[in-house]
Amino acid sequence: MQREGIVYRGNSGLYDIRVSGESAVFSARLKGTLKKELIYSTSGSRPQRVTRARKRRATDPIAIGDTVVFDVDERLIQEIKPRHSELARSSPQTGEQHVLVANLDTVFVVFAAAEPKPDLWLLDRFLVLVESAELLAEIVINKCDLVPDLEETRILLEPYVLAGYRVHYLSARQSFGIDELRNALSTKISAFAGPSGVGKSSILNRLKPGLKLKTGDVGEITYKGRHTTTTAELIPLDENSSWVADTPGLRQVDFWDVDPENLEYCFPEFRDFLDNCQYNNCSHRIEQGCAIRSAVEDGKIDDRRYRSFVQMSSEKAHV
Protein backbone atom coordinates (compact mmCIF):
# COMPACT_ATOMS: atom_id res chain seq x y z
CA MET A 1 0.00 0.00 0.00
CA GLN A 2 1.26 3.46 -0.94
CA ARG A 3 1.00 6.47 1.33
CA GLU A 4 2.16 10.06 1.19
CA GLY A 5 3.82 11.78 4.12
CA ILE A 6 6.39 14.29 5.34
CA VAL A 7 9.92 13.25 6.31
CA TYR A 8 10.50 14.70 9.75
CA ARG A 9 13.77 13.01 10.68
CA GLY A 10 16.54 11.22 8.87
CA ASN A 11 19.30 9.08 10.22
CA SER A 12 21.88 7.14 8.17
CA GLY A 13 19.58 6.46 5.26
CA LEU A 14 16.52 5.66 7.37
CA TYR A 15 13.80 8.28 7.20
CA ASP A 16 10.97 8.82 9.69
CA ILE A 17 7.71 9.85 8.06
CA ARG A 18 4.42 11.20 9.34
CA VAL A 19 1.18 11.08 7.42
CA SER A 20 -0.90 14.22 7.75
CA GLY A 21 -3.59 13.97 10.42
CA GLU A 22 -2.32 10.65 11.79
CA SER A 23 -0.27 10.04 14.87
CA ALA A 24 1.43 6.86 13.60
CA VAL A 25 4.97 7.22 12.31
CA PHE A 26 6.65 5.20 9.59
CA SER A 27 10.29 4.47 8.83
CA ALA A 28 11.47 3.84 5.30
CA ARG A 29 14.59 3.71 3.18
CA LEU A 30 15.09 5.21 -0.22
CA LYS A 31 14.48 2.81 -3.10
CA GLY A 32 17.89 1.95 -4.60
CA THR A 33 17.10 2.79 -8.19
CA LEU A 34 15.50 6.06 -7.13
CA LYS A 35 18.83 7.21 -5.76
CA LYS A 36 20.31 7.01 -9.25
CA GLU A 37 17.46 8.29 -11.37
CA LEU A 38 16.48 11.05 -9.02
CA ILE A 39 15.94 14.29 -10.84
CA TYR A 40 14.42 17.08 -8.89
CA SER A 41 11.86 19.37 -10.29
CA THR A 42 13.46 22.30 -12.00
CA SER A 43 10.20 24.17 -12.09
CA GLY A 44 10.30 27.83 -11.26
CA SER A 45 12.16 30.57 -12.95
CA ARG A 46 15.60 30.01 -11.63
CA PRO A 47 18.27 28.11 -13.50
CA GLN A 48 20.03 27.93 -10.12
CA ARG A 49 17.66 25.17 -9.10
CA VAL A 50 18.92 22.95 -11.89
CA THR A 51 22.50 23.39 -10.76
CA ARG A 52 21.50 22.80 -7.20
CA ALA A 53 19.72 19.58 -8.09
CA ARG A 54 22.82 18.31 -9.87
CA LYS A 55 25.12 19.21 -7.01
CA ARG A 56 22.85 17.63 -4.49
CA ARG A 57 23.08 14.21 -6.05
CA ALA A 58 26.37 13.74 -4.26
CA THR A 59 24.82 14.24 -0.83
CA ASP A 60 21.62 13.08 0.85
CA PRO A 61 18.80 13.38 -1.70
CA ILE A 62 16.15 13.69 1.00
CA ALA A 63 15.84 16.50 3.53
CA ILE A 64 13.43 16.94 6.39
CA GLY A 65 10.31 18.62 5.08
CA ASP A 66 10.27 16.58 1.88
CA THR A 67 6.93 15.09 0.91
CA VAL A 68 7.43 11.49 -0.18
CA VAL A 69 5.37 8.60 -1.51
CA PHE A 70 6.32 5.37 0.19
CA ASP A 71 5.30 1.73 0.23
CA VAL A 72 4.13 0.87 3.72
CA ASP A 73 4.82 -2.89 3.50
CA GLU A 74 8.18 -2.70 1.79
CA ARG A 75 9.17 0.39 3.80
CA LEU A 76 10.58 2.01 0.72
CA ILE A 77 10.37 5.60 -0.47
CA GLN A 78 9.40 5.54 -4.12
CA GLU A 79 8.97 9.17 -5.00
CA ILE A 80 10.05 12.56 -3.75
CA LYS A 81 7.63 15.34 -4.55
CA PRO A 82 9.00 18.53 -6.10
CA ARG A 83 10.12 21.09 -3.53
CA HIS A 84 8.76 24.61 -3.45
CA SER A 85 11.67 25.90 -1.38
CA GLU A 86 14.75 24.87 0.49
CA LEU A 87 17.17 26.18 3.08
CA ALA A 88 20.63 25.02 2.13
CA ARG A 89 24.18 25.69 3.13
CA SER A 90 27.47 24.82 1.55
CA SER A 91 29.89 22.62 3.42
CA PRO A 92 32.91 24.75 4.34
CA GLN A 93 35.17 21.75 3.68
CA THR A 94 33.92 20.38 0.37
CA GLY A 95 31.70 23.18 -0.93
CA GLU A 96 28.94 20.60 -1.37
CA GLN A 97 25.34 21.66 -0.95
CA HIS A 98 23.55 20.40 2.09
CA VAL A 99 19.83 21.01 2.33
CA LEU A 100 18.86 21.60 5.95
CA VAL A 101 15.10 21.84 5.46
CA ALA A 102 12.82 21.51 2.41
CA ASN A 103 9.43 23.10 1.67
CA LEU A 104 9.62 25.72 4.38
CA ASP A 105 8.18 29.24 4.33
CA THR A 106 9.76 31.14 7.21
CA VAL A 107 13.12 31.03 8.94
CA PHE A 108 13.41 32.37 12.46
CA VAL A 109 16.98 33.54 12.78
CA VAL A 110 17.82 33.14 16.46
CA PHE A 111 20.49 35.14 18.27
CA ALA A 112 21.03 35.81 21.96
CA ALA A 113 20.95 39.21 23.68
CA ALA A 114 24.02 37.98 25.58
CA GLU A 115 26.10 34.79 25.99
CA PRO A 116 26.99 34.83 23.16
CA LYS A 117 26.56 38.54 22.52
CA PRO A 118 24.96 39.31 19.18
CA ASP A 119 27.33 39.38 16.23
CA LEU A 120 25.49 41.59 13.75
CA TRP A 121 27.88 40.75 10.90
CA LEU A 122 26.97 37.10 11.31
CA LEU A 123 23.27 37.98 11.62
CA ASP A 124 23.55 39.73 8.24
CA ARG A 125 24.96 36.54 6.72
CA PHE A 126 22.12 34.45 8.08
CA LEU A 127 19.62 36.93 6.67
CA VAL A 128 21.30 36.82 3.26
CA LEU A 129 21.15 33.03 3.35
CA VAL A 130 17.40 33.21 3.99
CA GLU A 131 16.71 36.03 1.50
CA SER A 132 18.64 34.27 -1.25
CA ALA A 133 16.43 31.22 -0.77
CA GLU A 134 13.44 33.55 -1.22
CA LEU A 135 12.12 32.69 2.21
CA LEU A 136 10.65 34.97 4.84
CA ALA A 137 13.04 35.86 7.67
CA GLU A 138 12.11 36.91 11.19
CA ILE A 139 14.61 37.67 13.93
CA VAL A 140 14.43 36.15 17.41
CA ILE A 141 16.52 37.58 20.26
CA ASN A 142 16.63 35.06 23.10
CA LYS A 143 18.17 35.25 26.60
CA CYS A 144 16.71 38.70 27.22
CA ASP A 145 16.80 37.84 30.93
CA LEU A 146 20.58 38.28 30.79
CA VAL A 147 20.60 41.96 29.85
CA PRO A 148 19.76 44.56 32.50
CA ASP A 149 18.61 47.10 29.91
CA LEU A 150 16.76 45.62 26.96
CA GLU A 151 16.53 49.08 25.41
CA GLU A 152 20.20 48.84 24.41
CA THR A 153 19.51 45.62 22.52
CA ARG A 154 16.51 47.20 20.83
CA ILE A 155 18.65 50.11 19.62
CA LEU A 156 21.18 47.64 18.22
CA LEU A 157 18.42 45.97 16.22
CA GLU A 158 16.72 49.15 15.05
CA PRO A 159 18.27 48.96 11.52
CA TYR A 160 16.64 45.56 11.05
CA VAL A 161 13.22 46.91 11.96
CA LEU A 162 13.79 49.71 9.45
CA ALA A 163 14.75 47.09 6.87
CA GLY A 164 11.35 45.50 7.44
CA TYR A 165 12.23 42.56 9.68
CA ARG A 166 10.05 41.51 12.57
CA VAL A 167 12.08 41.15 15.75
CA HIS A 168 10.87 39.00 18.65
CA TYR A 169 12.38 39.45 22.11
CA LEU A 170 12.13 36.55 24.49
CA SER A 171 13.62 34.43 27.19
CA ALA A 172 13.32 30.68 27.07
CA ARG A 173 14.57 30.55 30.63
CA GLN A 174 12.01 32.94 32.07
CA SER A 175 9.40 31.92 29.52
CA PHE A 176 8.50 35.38 28.32
CA GLY A 177 7.74 36.24 24.72
CA ILE A 178 6.98 32.57 24.01
CA ASP A 179 3.24 32.98 23.38
CA GLU A 180 3.87 35.86 21.02
CA LEU A 181 6.37 33.71 19.09
CA ARG A 182 3.93 30.79 19.00
CA ASN A 183 1.41 33.04 17.25
CA ALA A 184 4.01 33.92 14.63
CA LEU A 185 4.58 30.24 13.86
CA SER A 186 1.40 29.76 11.92
CA THR A 187 2.98 28.86 8.59
CA LYS A 188 3.15 25.25 7.54
CA ILE A 189 6.88 24.61 7.91
CA SER A 190 9.30 26.98 9.55
CA ALA A 191 12.83 26.57 10.85
CA PHE A 192 15.00 27.90 13.63
CA ALA A 193 18.51 28.74 12.52
CA GLY A 194 21.36 30.60 14.18
CA PRO A 195 24.69 30.13 15.90
CA SER A 196 25.25 27.38 18.45
CA GLY A 197 24.31 28.06 22.06
CA VAL A 198 21.77 30.83 21.47
CA GLY A 199 18.94 28.64 22.75
CA LYS A 200 17.12 27.34 19.67
CA SER A 201 16.32 23.98 21.25
CA SER A 202 15.47 25.63 24.58
CA ILE A 203 12.87 27.83 22.87
CA LEU A 204 11.32 24.82 21.15
CA ASN A 205 11.10 23.00 24.46
CA ARG A 206 9.16 25.98 25.79
CA LEU A 207 6.92 26.16 22.76
CA LYS A 208 5.95 22.54 23.09
CA PRO A 209 5.79 21.37 26.68
CA GLY A 210 6.93 17.78 27.02
CA LEU A 211 9.24 17.92 24.03
CA LYS A 212 12.54 17.52 25.89
CA LEU A 213 14.99 18.30 23.10
CA LYS A 214 18.57 18.05 24.25
CA THR A 215 19.98 21.45 25.20
CA GLY A 216 23.44 22.60 26.24
CA ASP A 217 24.13 22.02 29.94
CA VAL A 218 23.91 25.05 32.12
CA GLY A 219 27.38 26.50 32.57
CA GLU A 220 28.75 24.73 29.52
CA ILE A 221 30.11 27.16 26.96
CA THR A 222 28.45 25.65 23.92
CA TYR A 223 28.94 28.64 21.68
CA LYS A 224 32.70 28.19 21.75
CA GLY A 225 32.45 25.27 19.39
CA ARG A 226 30.48 22.41 20.84
CA HIS A 227 27.13 21.72 19.26
CA THR A 228 24.31 20.23 21.25
CA THR A 229 21.93 19.64 18.35
CA THR A 230 23.66 17.63 15.63
CA THR A 231 20.92 16.89 13.08
CA ALA A 232 17.96 18.88 11.89
CA GLU A 233 14.56 17.60 12.97
CA LEU A 234 10.98 18.67 12.29
CA ILE A 235 8.70 19.01 15.28
CA PRO A 236 4.94 18.94 14.84
CA LEU A 237 3.33 21.83 16.68
CA ASP A 238 -0.35 21.08 16.26
CA GLU A 239 -1.85 17.90 14.82
CA ASN A 240 0.82 17.81 12.09
CA SER A 241 -0.46 20.91 10.35
CA SER A 242 2.39 23.17 11.36
CA TRP A 243 5.97 22.17 11.89
CA VAL A 244 9.14 23.76 13.17
CA ALA A 245 12.61 22.53 12.37
CA ASP A 246 15.32 22.62 14.99
CA THR A 247 18.69 22.87 13.25
CA PRO A 248 22.25 22.56 14.52
CA GLY A 249 24.02 25.86 15.14
CA LEU A 250 25.99 27.12 12.16
CA ARG A 251 29.32 28.60 13.13
CA GLN A 252 29.97 30.08 9.77
CA VAL A 253 27.69 30.81 6.89
CA ASP A 254 28.80 30.29 3.33
CA PHE A 255 26.51 31.06 0.47
CA TRP A 256 28.39 30.32 -2.71
CA ASP A 257 25.19 29.94 -4.63
CA VAL A 258 24.14 33.54 -4.12
CA ASP A 259 24.90 35.18 -7.46
CA PRO A 260 26.97 38.32 -6.94
CA GLU A 261 24.31 40.23 -8.91
CA ASN A 262 21.65 38.99 -6.52
CA LEU A 263 23.41 39.97 -3.29
CA GLU A 264 22.01 43.52 -3.38
CA TYR A 265 18.45 42.13 -3.37
CA CYS A 266 19.23 40.18 -0.20
CA PHE A 267 19.29 43.49 1.69
CA PRO A 268 15.59 44.45 1.67
CA GLU A 269 16.23 48.09 2.61
CA PHE A 270 18.28 48.53 -0.63
CA ARG A 271 15.45 47.56 -2.93
CA ASP A 272 13.73 50.95 -3.12
CA PHE A 273 16.96 52.63 -4.25
CA LEU A 274 18.43 50.11 -6.68
CA ASP A 275 16.72 51.53 -9.75
CA ASN A 276 18.14 54.98 -9.13
CA CYS A 277 21.85 54.25 -9.52
CA GLN A 278 23.39 56.01 -12.51
CA TYR A 279 24.83 52.78 -13.91
CA ASN A 280 22.60 49.77 -14.07
CA ASN A 281 25.49 47.42 -13.30
CA CYS A 282 26.49 49.56 -10.31
CA SER A 283 28.47 47.66 -7.68
CA HIS A 284 27.47 50.31 -5.08
CA ARG A 285 31.07 50.62 -4.03
CA ILE A 286 32.92 53.15 -6.15
CA GLU A 287 30.64 54.42 -8.90
CA GLN A 288 29.49 57.99 -9.36
CA GLY A 289 25.77 58.52 -8.91
CA CYS A 290 25.22 55.48 -6.68
CA ALA A 291 21.79 55.74 -5.05
CA ILE A 292 22.69 53.23 -2.37
CA ARG A 293 25.71 55.23 -1.23
CA SER A 294 23.77 58.47 -1.16
CA ALA A 295 21.01 56.74 0.85
CA VAL A 296 23.72 55.71 3.33
CA GLU A 297 24.99 59.28 3.49
CA ASP A 298 21.44 60.55 4.06
CA GLY A 299 20.96 58.05 6.88
CA LYS A 300 18.24 56.18 4.98
CA ILE A 301 20.30 52.99 4.90
CA ASP A 302 22.21 51.92 7.99
CA ASP A 303 25.93 52.44 7.51
CA ARG A 304 26.97 49.21 9.22
CA ARG A 305 24.50 47.15 7.15
CA TYR A 306 25.96 48.79 4.04
CA ARG A 307 29.49 47.86 5.12
CA SER A 308 28.31 44.33 5.69
CA PHE A 309 27.10 44.27 2.07
CA VAL A 310 30.45 45.63 0.84
CA GLN A 311 32.31 42.97 2.82
CA MET A 312 30.18 40.15 1.42
CA SER A 313 30.31 41.44 -2.14
CA SER A 314 34.09 41.73 -2.04
CA GLU A 315 34.29 38.12 -0.86
CA LYS A 316 32.04 37.09 -3.73
CA ALA A 317 34.27 38.92 -6.17
CA HIS A 318 37.07 36.47 -5.37
CA VAL A 319 35.07 33.27 -5.79
Ligand X SMILES: Nc1nc2c(ncn2[C@@H]2O[C@H](COP(=O)(O)OP(=O)(O)OP(=O)(O)O)[C@@H](O)[C@H]2O)c(=O)[nH]1
Name which position in 97, 153, 171, 201 contacts Mg ion (CB under 5 A): 201
Q: How far is the CB of 112 from Mg ion (least distance, A)?
A: 13
Q: How far is the CB of 229 from Mg ion (least distance, A)?
A: 3
Containing H/E element for 126?
helix 120-132
Tell me whether residue 70 or residue 223 sits nearer to ligand X (CB atom): 223
Tell me whether residue 5 or residue 216 sits nearer to ligand X (CB atom): 216
Residues 61, 294: Cα–Cα separation, whole Å: 45
Tell me whether residue 101 or residue 292 sits nearer to Zn ion (CB atom): 292
Judged by CB under 6 A, does residue 244 bind ligand X? no
In the three-class reduction of DSSP (H, G, I as helix; E, B as strand; rest coil), residue 85 is classed as coil
Residues 63, 91: Cα–Cα separation, whole Å: 15
Residues 201, 135: Cα–Cα separation, whole Å: 21
Q: In one letter, which amino acid is 226? A: R
**Other C-beta atoms within 10 Å of 132: how many?**
18
Instruction: Report DSSP letters for 260-281, one per residue.
Output: GGGGGGGSGGGTTTGGGSSSTT
Residues 264, 132: Cα–Cα separation, whole Å: 10
Judged by CB under 5 A, does residue 277 bind Zn ion? yes
Q: How far is the CB of 171 from ligand X (least distance, A)?
A: 4
Q: In one letter, which amino acid is 55? A: K
Residues 108, 210: Cα–Cα separation, whole Å: 22
Name which position in 143, 200, 284, 305 contacts Zn ion (CB under 5 A): 284
Name which position in 106, 153, 190, 196 contacts ligand X (CB under 6 A): 196
Name which position in 216, 258, 264, 306 contacts ligand X (CB under 6 A): 216
| Chosen from ligand X, Mg ion, Zn ion, none, partner binding at 153 (C-beta under 5 to 8 Å by type) | none
For helices 303-317 and 120-132, the axis angle rounded to 10 degrees is 60
Judged by CB under 5 A, does residue 190 bind Mg ion? no
Judged by CB under 6 A, does residue 283 bind ligand X? no
Judged by CB under 6 A, does residue 146 bind ligand X? yes
The torsion angle over the Cα atoms of residues 259, 261, 262 and 265, rounded to 10 degrees, is 160
Name which position in 30, 107, 266, 292 contacts Zn ion (CB under 5 A): 292
Considering only residues 126 to 155 of the shown chain, the ones binding Mg ion according to CB under 5 A are none
Binding site for ligand X (CB under 6 A): 142-143, 145-146, 171-173, 196-202, 215-216, 218, 222, 227-229, 248-249
Binding site for Zn ion (CB under 5 A): 277, 282, 284, 290, 292
